[in-house]
Amino acid sequence: MTTETPPQETEPVSGFWRLVPEPSLDAVRRWGWASVVVNIGIVVTGGLVRLTGSGLGCPTWPSCTDDSYVPHAALGIHGAIEFTNRMLGFVVAIVAILTWLVVMRYRPIRRDLRRLATAAALGVPLQGVIGGISVLTGLNPWIVSAHFLVSPVIITLTVSMMRRSRTSPYPHTPPVVRALATASVVAVWLTVALGTIVTGAGPHSGDPETGRNGFDPELVAQLHADVVFGLLGISIALVIATRVTATSRTLRKLAAWLLAVELLQGAVGFTQYFTGLPWGVVLVHMFLAGLLIALVTAVYGERGTPAT
């Protein structure tokens, strides 16, 4: 086991920070979990906006209409769905701010945790602005994809923060396991990115009048499936490698969970494709995408240090 620990600093607490109760590392992790949950949640509600054709339920931004920040009756259910999703964005922002406050108040100072919490918190307004641009551009599929991808980035930053908050030493891990863990991250992100292109080529644009990205839906869906099969191969190899080499019990469990979620995600993906993209199945697919990002980030964070 390595004895390396992240650098820690002490600093007097003054001014505003005296008003914030000093948190424990457990509190840091709890708020991290809360951030992951709300970000996966908004992935699902954002999917609901798209699936119901409510992307332009509020036809402008940052207000809902030119003369109101809230939808009026004429906008109907689509306006209500889009406005509700916007309000959930404020929940995500509140959790991000509270997480940031907890990390900034924690002593001894952990600058690595501060950087991750700050980046995650800044991702929330960035996502809001990109979402606004997507509305103002009539749901341009590329901007909609960028809007979605901010959530996986925030989830990645937050899970990384939680993994780095550990106090126990990181284990030594064989090079093959470390390489497979890294490859799984690349494959998952490639899968998710291609998934947004498949979505941009498909029928659920968020509004009946919105154009698509111009790709052949069957072609990009096949490419997406090919990458998924590659990801499954990497994950199977990772599970085997963690079983036959000296790796931590935590990493073995995480690798198994990662493979299980990938198999479930693949099954859901094929089901939605061959059943005409029913809403419920698509929403499960989006939920699992968020969970997959969290798991692969945890796997990468647990890969430890090179074994000598």
Determine the Cα angle at 256 with ends 254 and 258, to 5°.
70
Specify if 5 maps to a domain: no
Whether residue 146 lies inside any domain: the answer is: yes
Question: What is the Cα–Cα distance from 217 to 140, expressed in whole angstroms?
Answer: 17
Return the pLDDT at 262.
97
Confidence of residue 10 (pLDDT cuts 50, 70, 90): low
| Contact indicator for 145, 221 with CB cutoff of 8 Å | no
Number of domains in the chain: 2
Domain end point (choices 120, 145, 167):
167
Average pLDDT over residues 100-114: 92
Beta strands 305-306 and 172-173, pairing class: parallel
CA-closest candidate to residue 96, choices 139, 144, 153:
153
Q: Are residues 222 and 284 in the same domain?
A: yes
pLDDT exceeds cutoff 80 at 289: yes
Considering the domain architecture, whether residues 26 and 120 belong to the same structural domain is answered as: yes
* pLDDT at position 223: 95
Query: Can you say how many angstroms the Cα of residue 118 is from the centroid of all Cα atoms in its chain?
Result: 16
Same-domain pairing of 104 and 176: no
Whether 2 has a pLDDT exceeding 70, the answer reads no
The residue ranking higher by pLDDT, 80 or 13, is: 80
Domain boundary among 148, 167, 186: 167
Domain membership of residue 242 (yes or no) is yes
Average pLDDT for the chain: 91
Q: Is residue 292 part of a domain?
A: yes
Q: Are residues 38 and 142 in the same domain?
A: yes
Q: Report the alpha-carbon distance of residue 135 to residue 16 in Å, rounded.
A: 38
The answer to whether residues 156 and 25 belong to one domain is yes
Predicted TM-score of the model (pTM): 0.92
- For 96, counting Cβ atoms within 10 Å of its Cβ (0-12 exposed, 13-18 middle, 19+ buried), the class is buried
161 and 260, same domain (yes or no): no
The pLDDT value recorded for residue 143 is 94
One domain for residues 154 and 221: no
141 and 118 inside one domain: yes
What was the pLDDT predicted at 3?
40
| Judgement on whether residues 78 and 194 belong to the same structural domain of the protein | no
Q: Is residue 15 part of a domain?
A: no
For the segment 58-75, what is each residue's pLDDT rounded down to a tens digit?
Answer: 999 999 999 999 998 889
Distance from C-alpha of 221 to C-alpha of 78, rounded to nearest angstrom = 28
pLDDT tens, 18-38? 777 788 899 999 999 999 999
Residue with tokens 């990938």: 262
Number of residues that make up the chain: 308
The pLDDT of residue 32 is 96
Where is pLDDT greater, at 267 or 74? 267
Say yes or no: 199 and 138 in one domain. no
Nearest to 85 by CA among 73, 74, 71: 71
Asked if 25 and 98 sit in the same domain, the reply is yes
Contact indicator for 289, 47 with CB cutoff of 8 Å: no
Please give the pLDDT value at position 1. Answer: 37
Query: Of the residues 147, 167, 187, which one is the last residue of a structural domain?
Result: 167
Domain that holds residue 40: 21-167
Asked if residue 12 has pLDDT above 70, the reply is no
- Mean pLDDT computed over 273-289: 92
Q: Is residue 99 part of a domain?
A: yes
CA atoms within 13 A on the CB side of 218: 1
Q: Are residues 145 and 34 in the same domain?
A: yes
Cα–Cα distance for residue pair 266/254, rounded to 1 Å: 18
* pLDDT tens-digit series, residues 134-172: 999 999 999 999 999 999 999 999 999 999 987 777 778
**Which pair of tokens denotes residue 246?**
């000296």
CA pseudo-torsion sign 289, 293, 174, 230:
positive
**How large is the angle between the packed helices 141-164 and 279-301, nearest 10 degrees?**
40
CA Rg value for the chain: 21
Q: Establish if 65 belongs to a structural domain.
A: yes
Give 196-244 pLDDT, tens digit per residue: 999 988 887 777 778 888 889 899 999 999 999 999 999 999 999 999 9
